[in-house]
Amino acid sequence: MKTKYIIAFFLFFNSGYRCSLAQKKDPELDIKIKALISKMTLEEKIGMLHANDLFSSAGVERLGIPPLVSDDGPLGVREEVKVGWLPAGLTTDSATFFPNGSAIAATWNPEMAYQYGVALGEEARARKKNVILAPAFNIARTPLCGRTYEYYSEDPFLNSRLAVRAVKGIQSKNVAACVKHYALNNQEYDRFKVNVEADERTLREIYLPAFKAAVQEGDAWAVMSAYNKFRGVFCSENKYLLKDILKDQWGFKGVVISDWGGTHSTVTAAKNGLDIEMGTESPYEQYYFAAPLFKAVKNNEVSTALIDEKVYRILWLMHHTSMSDNHSAGQINTPEHALTTYNIAKESIVLLKNNKKLLPLLNAGTKKIAVIGDNAIRTFHNGGFGAGVKAKYEVNALQGLYNRLGKNASLRFAQGYNALYKSTDSEEQRITANIPDESLISKAVDEAKNADVAIVFIGGNREVESEGKDRKDIQLPFGQEALVAAVSAANPNTIIVVVGGAPYVLTKMDNANHTILWSWYNGSEGGNALADVILGKVNPSGRLPFTFPVKLEDSPAHALGTYPGSEFSTEYKEGILVGYRWYDTKHIAPLYPFGFGLSYSTFLYSDASTDKQLYPADGKIMVSIKLKNGGTQAGNEVVQLYASKSESKVDRPEKELKGFTKVWLEPGEMKTLRIPLNVADLAYFDAKMMRWKVEEGTYKLMIGSSSRDIKLSREITVSR
Ligand code: BGC
C-alpha cells in the first residue's frame, strides 16, 4: 500500500495538475504545501474534503493545519447557528448588515462593491471565518427568482465589473471569497433538481462572464457549485463546468465547494472537479466525500493524486487566509463599516418618477408628515429562509426620517397594511395576506388628510423575497395598491417609496402617481440614507440593474413559457436575449428600463467622439463625451456605453452594455469623460468554432442614461 501511495504521489507531482497551476507565482509556497501533503495520511486528507460541522471541514492539528471555516454570506457575516439552523444564541455574533446584492448593483459603482468587500472581509476575519460565502451573482433571468435580491443584475457586464471588485475587496483582508452559485442557478423553484438547458453561446455570453471575471481578474480563491443540473448533470459533478471550463480553460487555482447538500456522488464528483462536500445534515462521516471517498481510493476508483490535488487547493487557499503570515485580527461593527453601508445605500436609491418635483422634500413648509406603511418601521437584516445577519442595529425608514428631521417636523405613523405573510406559508395564506385591510387604510387616510405630505412605504420584505421559493407573481403584496390609491386620493402631495430587491409591477401606480422612489434592503444605515435622499441632502444616483416590466408576461422566460420548466427541466429558449436584450430587440416597452434612474439635476450630453474610426480586432477604443450638470444640485450621473452590430452573421441583441462610468458634477460643471472599450469585447461566442470572434465591419456605439435613453452615438469600423 505504501508503494502504491508513493507512486500516486509521484504521479501527482508530475501530473497535468502541475500544468493547470501554471499561474501560480510562488514556488516557495508550492514546496511548503507539497511538503505538508507528504506528511499527511489518507484519513487526514479525506477529513479535509467534507464537512465536519455545518460550516467547517477538518484541519490536521498535528501538522498545524486549521479547520477550514466558512460562513454566509452576501448580507454580512451571519449569526452563529446550531444544527437545524437555529440561532446559537450568542451575544458576540452581531455584525454589520450590508445592502443586498441588487442594491450594490444599483450603485453602478465598482468602488462601492470594493468597499463592501473590504468591510465584509474584515468582519469575516473578526469572526474567524476563512471563507465568506459571497458574493452571489447569478443572472436575474426571471423577476420571480426568490434570490434576485441577493444577486446583482440581468447584465453580464455590470455583474462582472462588480463581482471582480467585491472579490478583490474581500480577499484584501485574507478571507477567501466563495463566488456562487456556479452556474445557471436562476430560479429557486425545484432548485435541488431542475435541469437547465442553455446553448453554448448563451452560456458563454450571459451566464458565465461574471464567474470568469471573478476567477481571472478577481482571482477568487473559492467557487460554490450550484444545486441545479446543467445539461443533465448536477453542477457539483459537472465535468464541463468544473473541470473543463473553470479549472482547465480559466486556470482556477482555488477550491470548488459544493452548495450545502448539493453533492450527489463520490467518484463522479471527485473526478469531475468538486473539492469539498458541504452539507447540513449529519452524520458527516457518511458524506460522499467521507467514508465512501476513502473506500473509493482504496479500491483504486479515485487516485491518491486526485485527492492530493484537492488537498493542495485547500492548503493553497489556507495559505492566503488562515495560514497566511500577514492576516489581521479583523474588525467588526466599526463606524467605518457603518459608513460603507451608508455610502452604498445612498448611491443605490433610484428615483423613478418626480413629475411634480415633490422630491426633494425641503423642510420649509413641510411641517406635518404622515409616514405610512409597514416598510417604514420594518427591518430587513433577517427574515425568510436563507442567510441573514444579526445586525448590531438597523435604522428603519421612520427612524431615519426622525434622525434627520428631529423637531423640525411632526411625523405621524400609520401602519397602512399588515405584512402577515411568511415565506413558509401556503399559497392560500399568501392570497389572504394580500387582501387590503380597510381599517388600516382608513386610519392611514386620516393621517394623510391632516398632513402636508404623505410618504407611503410599500414593496416587498425578506419574507416575500426569500431563498428556497420563487415569488408566484410580481404584484405588490398586502393590498398595497389599494392603500396607495386611497392615500393619494386623500393627499395630492403623496410620495411613494417602494422597498424591494427585485422588480414589482408598478404600472398602475406609475400611471396614477407622480412621485416614486425605489429603495432596497439597504443595510444597517438604510433608513438614514433613505431620509437623506428624501430630504435632498443626497442627490439620487442609483440606476436600475434590471428591467421593470409592465407585466410579468413581457419578460423573456415568461413570454416564452420556459419558466419554471416541466418534468424538472427548463430550456432557456430566449437564449442570449435576457433582460433588456430581450425588451430592446423585441421592441417591448418596459415600465422602467435597465439602467434607468432620475436625479434632482439634469445632465446634458454632448460631443461624442472616438479616438479613431478604424480599429484592428485587438485594438482599444476610447470613447469620449462631454457631460454637463445643467441643474442646481451637485450629483452623480451614470453614463452608459452600449454597442450594437448591424449586418452581423449571427443574431445580435439590439444593444449590449460594454462600459459605464459614474461621475460627480457640481451645478453648471462640465467634464470630458472617457470610457475605454476593447475591440475584443465586441466579440460574440462562436459555438461552432468554440471561440470568441470579433466580426469585422461597422459597429454602433451608443452613449446614454439607460438602455432606452440613448443620447449620442458614433460608428466605428473594425478591420482584420
Ligand atoms: C445556499 C447557499 C449558502 C448555503 C450555506 C445554501 O442553501 O444556497 O447560498 O451559502 O446554503 O448556508
Q: Is 166 in the pocket of ligand 1 (CB under 6 A)?
A: no
Q: β-strand 368-372 against 453-459: which pairing, if any?
A: parallel
Contacts of 413 (CB under 8 A, 6+ apart): 370, 371, 372, 376, 377, 398, 447
Distance CA 429, CA 433 (A): 6
In this model, does residue 325 exceed pLDDT 90? Answer: no
Closest CA to 699 of 619, 627, 642, 660: 642
Domain end point (choices 529, 545, 561): 545
Contacts of 697 (CB under 8 A, 6+ apart): 645, 647, 648, 717, 718
Q: Is 590 in the pocket of ligand 1 (CB under 6 A)?
A: no
Residue 569, beta-bridge partner list? 195, 566
Q: What is the pLDDT of residue 15?
A: 36
Q: Is 297 in the pocket of ligand 1 (CB under 6 A)?
A: no
Domain end point (choices 499, 519, 545): 545
Are 165 and 113 in contact by the 8 Å Cβ rule? The answer is yes
What's the CATH number where 274 sits?
Answer: 3.20.20.300
Are 555 and 572 in contact by the 8 Å Cβ rule? The answer is no
Residues 196 and 314 in one domain: yes
Give the residue-averaged pLDDT of 288-295: 98
Q: Is 133 in the pocket of ligand 1 (CB under 6 A)?
A: yes
Does residue 506 fall inside a structural domain? yes
Q: Which three cell numbers stand for residue 249?
A: 480553460
Q: What is the pLDDT of residue 595?
A: 99
Residues 308 and 351 in one domain: no
Q: What is the pLDDT of residue 364?
A: 61
Q: What is the pLDDT of residue 82?
A: 85
Domain end point (choices 545, 572, 591): 545
Q: β-strand 620-629 against 603-610: which pairing, if any?
A: antiparallel
Q: What is the pLDDT of residue 613?
A: 97
Distance CA 524, CA 1 (A): 57
Distance CA 597, CA 281 (A): 45
Q: What is the pLDDT of residue 24?
A: 53
Residues in the chain: 720
Q: Which pLDDT tens digit goes with each residue over 446-458?
A: 999 999 999 999 9
Q: What's the gap in Å between 387 CA and the centre of ligand 1?
A: 7
Residues 208 and 107 in one domain: yes
Q: Which three cell numbers stand for residue 496?
A: 411613494
In this model, does residue 5 exceed pLDDT 50? Answer: no
How many Cβ atoms from other residues are within 10 Å of residue 467's Cβ? 20
Distance CA 579, CA 388 (A): 27
Q: What is the pLDDT of residue 327?
A: 75
Sign, CA dihedral 579-582-585-587, equals negative
Q: Mind giving me the DSSP string for 86-137?
A: -B---SS--BPPPPPHHHHHHTT-HHHHHHHHHHHHHHHHHTT-SEE---B-
Cα dist. 588→299, 511, 550, 661 in Å? 59, 18, 9, 27
Residues 621 and 490 in one domain: no
Distance CA 223, CA 246 (A): 9
Does residue 592 fall inside a structural domain? no
Q: What's the gap in Å between 386 CA and the centre of ligand 1?
A: 7
Q: Cell 454580512: give the residue.
A: 76
Q: Which residue lies with its CA nearest to atom 12 of ligand 1?
A: 72
In this model, does residue 516 exceed pLDDT 90? Answer: yes
Q: Cell 486526485: give the residue.
A: 306
Q: Which residue lies with its CA nearest to atom 11 of ligand 1?
A: 260
Q: Which pLDDT tens digit goes with each residue over 535-576?
A: 999 999 999 999 999 999 999 999 999 999 999 999 999 999
Structural domain boundaries enclosing 422: 341-545
381: left (phi over 0), alpha (psi -120 to 50) or beta: alpha
Residues 493 and 626 in one domain: no
Q: What's the gap in Å between 345 CA and the centre of ligand 1?
A: 24
Q: Output phi, psi for 643, to 5 deg.
A: -135, 150
Q: Which residue lies with its CA nearest to atom 7 of ligand 1?
A: 260
Residues 61 and 164 in one domain: yes
Residues 635 and 487 in one domain: no
pLDDT band at 17 (very low <50, low <70, confident <90, very high): very low
CB half-sphere exposure, 375, CA atoms < 13 A: 27
Closest CA to 291 of 513, 631, 302, 575: 302
Domain count, the chain: 3
pTM of the model: 0.96
Q: Is 320 in the pocket of ligand 1 (CB under 6 A)?
A: no
Residue 530, beta-bridge partner list? none
3-class SS letters over 540-591: CCCCCCCCECCCHHHCHHHHCCCCCCECCEEECCCCCCCCHHHHHHHCCCCC
Residues 143 and 36 in one domain: yes
Please report how the helices 304-320 and 27-38 are oriented relative to each other, as an axis angle in degrees rounded to 10.
130
Are 447 and 116 in contact by the 8 Å Cβ rule? The answer is no
Q: Which pLDDT tens digit goes with each residue over 217-265?
A: 999 999 999 999 999 999 999 999 999 999 999 999 999 999 999 999 9
In this model, does residue 687 exceed pLDDT 90? Answer: yes
What's the CATH number where 659 sits?
Answer: 2.60.40.10
pLDDT band at 348 (very low <50, low <70, confident <90, very high): very high
Q: What is the pLDDT of residue 718?
A: 98
From 77, 82, 129, 259, mutation site for ligand 1 pocket: most ligand atoms within 8 A of C-beta? 259
Are 674 and 570 in contact by the 8 Å Cβ rule? The answer is no
Does residue 10 fall inside a structural domain? no
Tell me which of 127-141, 315-329, 477-491, 497-511 is least confident. 315-329
Q: Which three cell numbers stand for residue 131?
A: 471563507
Does residue 376 fall inside a structural domain? yes
Report, in this order, helix, strand and coil percent for the chain, each rounded to 5: 35, 25, 45
Q: What's the gap in Å between 264 CA and the centre of ligand 1?
A: 16
Distance CA 28, CA 14 (A): 17
Distance CA 48, CA 50 (A): 6
Give the residue-averaged pLDDT of 499-503: 98
* DSSP SS3 for 460: coil
Q: Which pLDDT tens digit goes with each residue over 18-38?
A: 333 334 568 999 999 999 999
Does residue 377 fall inside a structural domain? yes
Q: What's the gap in Å between 170 CA and the centre of ligand 1?
A: 18
Burial class (CB in 10 A: 0-12, 13-18, 19+), 426: exposed
Q: Is 180 in the pocket of ligand 1 (CB under 6 A)?
A: yes
In this model, does residue 311 exceed pLDDT 70? Answer: yes
Does residue 524 fall inside a structural domain? yes
Distance CA 87, CA 580 (A): 41
Are 557 and 312 in contact by the 8 Å Cβ rule? The answer is no
Angle at 227 between CA 223 and CA 228, to 5 degrees: 115
Q: H helices within 172-208, ranges in order?
A: 200-202
The residues annotated as belonging to the active site are 259
Q: What is the pLDDT of residue 363?
A: 64
Q: What percent of the chain has pLDDT over 90?
A: 93
Residues 310 and 390 in one domain: no
* DSSP SS3 for 659: strand
Distance CA 359, CA 409 (A): 16
Residues 374 and 270 in one domain: no
Q: Which pLDDT tens digit goes with each residue over 179-217?
A: 999 999 999 999 999 999 999 999 999 999 999 999 999
Are 584 and 708 in contact by the 8 Å Cβ rule? The answer is yes
Q: What's the gap in Å between 588 CA and the centre of ligand 1?
A: 35
Q: Output phi, psi for 576, to 5 deg.
A: -80, -5
Does residue 85 fall inside a structural domain? no
pLDDT averaged over the chain? 95
Distance CA 219, CA 24 (A): 11
From 72, 79, 180, 277, mutation site for ligand 1 pocket: most ligand atoms within 8 A of C-beta? 72
Q: Mind giving me the DSSP string for 344-363?
A: HHHHH-EEEEETT---S--S
Does residue 554 fall inside a structural domain? no
Are 256 and 223 in contact by the 8 Å Cβ rule? The answer is yes
Q: What is the pLDDT of residue 14?
A: 36
Residue 413, beta-bridge partner list? 371
What one-letter code names the amino acid at 488?
Answer: S
Residues 380 and 510 in one domain: yes
Residues 272 and 166 in one domain: yes
